[in-house]
Structure 1
């Protein structure tokens, strides 16, 4: 009796050991190594193979020892079709006149097949000739259910990881392309501006419509130059290298305001519970430059008012920029943070300022939303996580 109890306890501990070896990693091969090598050692088996069914073909997803099962086995579709046809556990013995398995099995011993679902199966091989008994099979069955789930998780992780790598590569290519375009377009634009200036200087007797056309060209060149600068800024937001620094808030915002062409009738109101902040200066400058620029460009009143509020909390900044400008029609509000979506034809309004703002807020793991009423103005609310 004590022998049976001890064996029962040993079996339970062994099943626990199997279970704990599964799912410790999302790497497919390592997950198989952790469980199957342990299983082979504990059961004194010769080898194993994880088989995947893809349409009408069978491939080895994993085998140990390597080479135990070669491509010849994968060609025996009738045998494998029978293994995969339902969820019943299959087992059998190799005999001399059977060629279902490859030559490395030496046509002797026994095999056991578990259908792992999700078009995967596990074959265990024992060259020593002893068949798998029913008790052993029943003990392994729930462990195989967990193993099946772990393989599905590994495949999902691999797909996501591969997708992330492709997206990272594509983003890098796009960023490099944008930077190259920015560089290559600026030079001819400068040349065109120079030629126009020479033409206007040397052509005192130019007809009025010619002068107007030249000014239209200059206007569009400036708009294109703004677009190129904006694209370059947008493409490099999350790739810059800069240390956070202490920012003296009021003069910092004052410098941004002074760098913009702002009508005299526009008044600024800045409110904050912090006089200094530790931020990345370049990102912070770009963020408020485009927010303030957007507010200024929306002005259509005799007296413009722009309110900037920055409230420092323990782990984040809570900010808003409000103006009393023309407001944003409802049909544009869903698209306002998308590239090149502009509701204004001014050369400064190229549809890239608010996308830059959104990308910087995302970089800081924050949120942004807007409230707007046509004819009364717009408020942009956003948060920035502190580093």
Structure 2
């Protein structure tokens, strides 16, 4: 990230010739770069904002100084240029995932009516929930991206009973005062089940123009996992499935997580006799992430639930086939486009899918040739930013009708 610097009150690039008039867009996101500890959404939200600015729109973003248990060392309460986006950081009063920030909410109260669209990201924290309340009280109906927080898995974990109680009496009413943006058919179904208005557009991601080179095959199936290491990702089930395989393989795990949980997984790996076949890589970022993915024969993401899964697109963008669970938002896309394999979470099913992948080198090579161009076509900024702007404009027309 470029060094954040104070900036003048307003400036955006001129829109391309023939483009629709620029929009004034406010994004509200509890965490923002360089707080990469929070995983994939920071990459996709920041890239969306940056590309909207590049295409001539005025984008401002409100966030907190959250950086895990620590705080970002940034100036607060003033606009900073963060890779071209005007970002306001605000101190939070809490050090946990609630991110309570009265200063952010007060700024939103004073300014939310200045924008054409207010787009709020996530759910289940005080920044987002109270931002929806602020917009409601100020007569603004925001766009809300719940980021998988309305899934059955989310309701079953971490304060489950409190979530159900809040949702039944308060949350559902607040959500109906928004228009939901979802990133996958699975998430769209979740919103429809709640009776919510929603539109579907995928995440926007920075992708390499050309896939990095990959080493020649040596008969060993190289498997890769790259994500935040968290119980949601089902690495326990993945390791169990690997213990059932009868062909040569190696698994490379990239990502960071709580140290106690990492040690638990390493202990399980040793108990299953996988210690020599599992390599713990640590956190990867930028170019090294794509090089890591390109070296794999198959990328694995066998999560209990993922509303989208940025890393699936990143793996396919370098030509690496994927094996995903049915709970991954992109599973239908993978199946329909023939970009890999989809399985349930039973270790026996995962092992069977891996065996199928091992025995299909020609299909893996076909995906490696076809995948990058398909991903560039479907998920380019040139295609998706205008789609987001069109969705915003449809929302505005609906509100003014």
TM-score range, shorter chain: under 0.3
TM-score w.r.t. length of structure 2: 0.18
TM-score (norm. length: structure 1) = 0.18
The structure carrying a bigger helix percent of its residues is: 1
